[in-house]
Structure 1
Amino acid sequence: MFGRSKTTNDQLEQEAVAAREGAKNRPTPRRRDQEAARKRPLVVTDRKQARQTDRAKRREAMAKTRTAMMTGDESGLPPRDKGPVRRYIREYVDARRNLAEFMLPVMLIVLALSFLRTSAILLAVTVLTYGILLTAIGDTFLMWRRLRARLTEKFGEEAARTRGNGMYAAMRAFQLRRSRMPRVQVKRGEFPS
């Protein structure tokens, strides 16, 4: 009785029970079996496989972020670029002609001129270097003051005083327009409202 195996009659009896619609029609699985099926180690024992999986996940996340940086999609941007305030700053800086963005090409000319070792040229190079640097810093400072007033008007005092917004605007202004990330979404003169 306790130790006997099922005979064909017992098996036929179980099969004879008609499957009811909407019913489970199977025995409830044991808890022990379900837990064993779900069990996975906390630390993967195959380090090579874990490294490949991690690398694939990282590549996928970087590809998503890169796509968002190219298209301006807010959901995939890194935290430093997210939010309406940062979008407004980007659009304002991109709509404006910044003197600072022309600093890199001028510095390349200055570098080429510095190889000429005459005192008049070296003096001109020094004056040109400091002149463009001070002009760019002054222009960026004035840009930030106007931008901060607009941020206060649109988003409130707290958004304009948030730490890092000024440096975010300045660093964007110093980059060449074509190399800015996230990519420029507005044309020159299309200031955000």
Structure 2
Amino acid sequence: MFRSRSKDEKVSAVKAPADLPTQPRDPQAPKGRPTPKRSEAQTTRRRAQTSAPLDRKEAARRQREARRADMTRQRQALASGDERYLPARDKGPVRRFVRDFVDSRFCVAEFFLPMAVIILILSTMPSPQLKNISLLLWLGVIAMIVVDSVGIWIRLKKQLAARFPNENKRGAVAYGLMRTLQMRRLRLPKPQVKRGERP
């Protein structure tokens, strides 16, 4: 019952743990790693000090500089049409086609502001005839803008369905109609096609 183990059993008991497969060491484990050299530790510490901001003011200053750099890149992209740095609402082949479609033609809506100024000046005149003319002009301008916008909406929707059947076209027509309201030289991104040129 209480007999001592034989020598063979003792040897197998000692060898058993060595036969087990060793687990691969986790490189992130704190123990078992060699101590880094002093020069390596100092380099790591110095790099952390230069990359991490010292306080909230420094962090805010770096954030402002990064935002300013992004805005500068975005302004340059809006002037040149560089797709990489355009705002999200202007990116993609669908939005580019819509811009080219609108920029390649005359739109009544783009002359809305100059005509509105003329109508406003006429309406301030003391003559009742000029006031009546300004009112008629105002109604005529609105009617022309509505008719022209409906025509652009129909043609643009048809062109988008034919050219981009599998692309997301949500909001593209409204984007184009909003662009028609801006004068050509004030549009951003800048027009990349001439009038009369096919997009």
Q: TM-score, length-normalised on structure 1?
A: 0.75
Q: Does residue 66 of structure 2 align to residue 71 of structure 1?
A: no
Q: Give the ranges of 4+ consecutive aligned residues of structure 1 lying more than 4 Å apart after TM superposition.
A: 30-44
Would you say 1:45 and 2:52 are equivalent positions?
no
Counterpart-to-counterpart distance in 2, 1:166 and 1:81: 13
1:121 Cα deviation from its structure 2 partner:
1.7
Cα separation, 2, equivalents of 1:136 and 1:44: 57
Structure 2: tracts of 5 or more residues without a match: 1-34
| Aligned CA-pair RMSD | 2.4
What is aligned with 1:17? none
Conserved? CA contact 2:110–2:183, under 8 Å: yes
Partner of 1:112: 121
Whether 2:193 is the aligned partner of 1:186: answer: yes
Residue equivalent to 2:130: 121
Aligned ranges 1:69-148 → 2 under 5 Å: 69-148=78-157
Match of 1:15 in 2: none
The residue type equivalent to 1:128 in the other structure is L
SS at match of 2:197: coil
Aligned to 2:37: 29
Structure 2 counterpart of 1:9? none
Confirm whether residue 151 of structure 1 aligns to residue 160 of structure 2.
yes
Q: Are the aligned partners of 2:98 and 2:173 in contact in 1 as well (CA < 8 Å)?
A: no
Amino acid at match of 2:98: I
**Consecutive unaligned residues in structure 1, runs of 5 or more:** 1-26
Q: C-alpha displacement at 1:51, in angstroms? A: 3.1
Counterpart Cα distance in 2 of 1:126 and 1:157: 46
Match of 1:167 in 2: 174
- For residues 76-118 of structure 1, give each alpha carbon's deviation from its aligned partner in whole angstroms, at most 9, with x where no partner exists: 1000000000000000100011111111111111111121133
Q: Tell me which structure has the larger Cα radius of gyration.
A: 2
CA shift for structure 1 position 129: 1.1
Q: Percent identity?
A: 37
Question: Aligned partners of 2:75, 2:194: CA distance in 1, in Å?
Answer: 21
- Take 1:132 and 1:44, find their aligned partners in 2: how far apart are those partners? 60
Report the Cα distance in structure 1 between the residues aligned to 2:152 and 2:91, rounded to whole angstroms.
Answer: 21
Displacement of 1:147:
1.0
Give the direction of change, closer, same or farther, for the CA distance of 1:142–1:44 in structure 2 (3 Å limit): farther
